[in-house]
Amino acid sequence: MAGNTPKKSARAAKPALLAGGNPQIAKAEGDAPVQAYIAAMPGWKREIGRRLDAVIVRTVPGVRKAVKWNSPFYGIADEGWFLSFHCFTKYVKVAFFRGTSLRPVPPGESRSKDTRYLDIHEDDQLDEAQLVAWVTQASRLPGERM
């Protein structure tokens, strides 16, 4: 019948979005699952994910990547993880696991004594120079074992 086209199978393969629009991606090591997470980020958040990933890769050559707990993680091989990010309804939350050691300290407080956050909202102007400085500092600190 005209107008009744079957649903494409690729649609079924699209990752589910959890609370806040966070993509549900299986735990895995490497760039491929991180790129799958970024591709599944909804709306304007996808561009934030691309920018974050590009800044991290450019700033930390050879960075280790994984998806854990439905979030991309970035680290140094055998040194642990220094950063992750996660989608929420109105922002993307970047977690610096040793954030209290960064200068200046990122603005978002955490229940974890060492972790600090940067929340990026849709209309925020991302200070890329500050982000590069934080990523550089974070990548040189002892990482989190997770």
Per-residue confidence (pLDDT) for residue 1, from 0 to 100: 47
Number of domains the chain contains: 1
Tell me the HSE value of 140 on the side-chain side, using a 13 A CA sphere: 10
Does residue 45 fall inside a structural domain? yes
DSSP SS3 for 89: coil
Per-residue confidence (pLDDT) for residue 12, from 0 to 100: 44
104 preceded by cis ω (within 30°)? yes
* CATH assignment of the domain containing 34: 3.90.1150.200
Nearest to 92 by CA among 66, 51, 120: 120
Q: Per-residue pLDDT for the chain (146 aa), expressed as one digit of tens each?
A: 444 544 444 444 577 888 788 899 999 999 999 999 999 999 999 999 999 999 999 999 999 999 999 999 999 988 999 999 999 999 999 999 999 999 999 999 999 999 999 999 999 999 999 999 999 999 999 999 88
Quote the CA–CA distance of 127 and 144 in Å, as a whole number.
Answer: 25
pTM beyond 0.85: yes
Does residue 9 fall inside a structural domain? no
Does residue 10 fall inside a structural domain? no
Does residue 29 fall inside a structural domain? yes
- Domain of 97 in residue numbering reads as 17-139
**Residue 67 and residue 145 in contact, taking contact as beta carbons nearer than 8 Å:** no
Q: From residue 106, give the alpha-carbon distance in Å to each of 94, 114, 117, 128.
A: 10, 11, 6, 13
Per-residue confidence (pLDDT) for residue 10, from 0 to 100: 44
Per-residue confidence (pLDDT) for residue 19, from 0 to 100: 76
Per-residue confidence (pLDDT) for residue 17, from 0 to 100: 83
